[in-house]
């Protein structure tokens, strides 16, 4: 179902919010609370709707499906690892006594900023996720007022003040939300002072979009990507950059950082062999074979009867050779590369490389 919600690759808006003094970037956070969609969902949609993610999802790192739409770890996982924090447990996944001491993940694949409709893949829209967080916080405070025996499972009271709040929000309704009070004024009024805005990647390079809009070779660029989609990404990114500048001027006591994900991912696809990849566009897990190995009728790991024959969307032999996992999402290896580039600080405006004390401790 998440695949249907992602007709276009999600445009990432990552707002990293903390509550210490403004103009002071500090990555030594005691906890992280994440909100978003499939780009950072670590199991919410699967747990919340009883969905099933079939193998080979999760095979690279977790050795089984982990609730992530990927063969392994997501960008958020690598960011957590770089900060020496454990992976975030999904809020709705209650099996196995999940530990929320260092944070919680409310992101659910297919979620949007605007309220969900009857046709929405995920009912857990941004507003619902925030409401879940408020209930989570209230429940933690209620438990702490009664007993301390659950302290190792839940955040300390001061963690909510010192934590990092990350918002990874879908593109489908992003444009309208940018100029509402939801994402800037309201968060600012509540004390938010540190924002990361990630622009959108090259949407035209996703097998899903190439399969649907790139059948005419004249519509493809030199990389084999749909030119119109990438041009749309560039135009939207110009607006995102302008928004960043606007917010920087509007809130002089806040830290607003613009991250150029488009350049990071475009560089990966254009120079894939330099970074150890062999397939910049073709999906690792899918059906149909070269050049895209993508079939919208069957998701990764599924077996269906197509045209009278039983077909399985199988995985490639080595996902580390592929940039794209399932036609829509990136592989763990590609996520690792993107995270490593984010953490250099070189693709941010303003740059923050000199303010990242954990850079020398990167584990990838």
Annotated catalytic sites, by residue?
Answer: 38, 326, 329
Q: In this structure, what token pair is assigned to residue 174? A: 């992003």
d(CA 87, CA 332): 14
d(CA 38, CA 105): 12
Q: Are 14 and 39 in contact (CB under 8 A)?
A: no
d(CA 99, CA 103): 8
Q: In this structure, what token pair is assigned to residue 337? A: 């590369």
Q: Which residues contact 73 (CB under 8 A, 6 or more apart)?
A: 60, 61, 81, 87, 332, 335, 336
Adjacent-strand bridge partners of 226: 220
Q: Are 334 and 268 in contact (CB under 8 A)?
A: yes
d(CA 58, CA 263): 27
């Amino acid at each position: 179902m998440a695949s249907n919600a992602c007709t276009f690759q999600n445009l990432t808006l990552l707002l990293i919010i903390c509550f210490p003094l403004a103009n002071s970037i500090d990555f030594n956070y005691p906890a992280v609370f994440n909100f978003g969609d499939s780009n950072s969902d670590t199991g919410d949609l699967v747990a919340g709707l009883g969905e099933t993610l079939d193998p080979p999802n999760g095979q690279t790192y977790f050795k089984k499906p982990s609730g992530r739409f990927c063969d392994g770890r997501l960008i958020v996982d690598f960011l957590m690892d770089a900060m020496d924090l454990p992976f975030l447990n999904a809020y709705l996944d209650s099996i196995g006594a999940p530990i929320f001491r260092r944070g919680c993940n409310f992101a659910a694949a297919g979620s949007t900023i605007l309220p969900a409709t009857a046709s929405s893949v995920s009912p857990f829209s941004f507003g619902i996720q925030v409401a879940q967080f408020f209930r989570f916080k209230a429940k933690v405070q209620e438990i702490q007022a009664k007993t301390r025996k659950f302290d190792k499972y839940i955040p300390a009271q001061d963690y909510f003040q010192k934590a990092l709040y990350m918002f990874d929000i879908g593109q489908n309704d992003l444009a309208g939300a940018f100029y509402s009070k939801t994402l800037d004024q309201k968060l600012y009024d509540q004390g938010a002072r540190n924002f990361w805005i990630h622009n959108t990647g090259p949407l035209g390079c996703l097998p899903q979009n190439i399969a649907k809009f790139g059948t005419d070779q004249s519509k493809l660029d030199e990389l084999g990507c749909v030119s119109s989609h990438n041009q749309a990404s560039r135009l939207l990114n110009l607006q995102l950059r302008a928004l960043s500048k606007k917010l920087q001027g509007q809130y002089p006591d806040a830290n607003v950082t613009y991250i150029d994900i488009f350049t990071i991912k475009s560089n990966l696809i254009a120079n894939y062999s330099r970074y150890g990849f062999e397939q910049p566009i073709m999906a690792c897990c899918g059906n149909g074979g070269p050049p895209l190995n993508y079939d919208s009728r069957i998701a990764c790991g599924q077996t269906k009867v197509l045209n009278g024959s039983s077909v399985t969307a199988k995985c490639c032999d080595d996902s580390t050779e592929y940039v794209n996992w399932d036609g829509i999402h990136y592989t763990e290896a590609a996520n690792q590369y993107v995270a490593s580039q984010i953490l250099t600080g070189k693709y941010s405006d303003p740059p923050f490389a000199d303010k990242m004390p954990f850079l020398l401790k990167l584990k990838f």
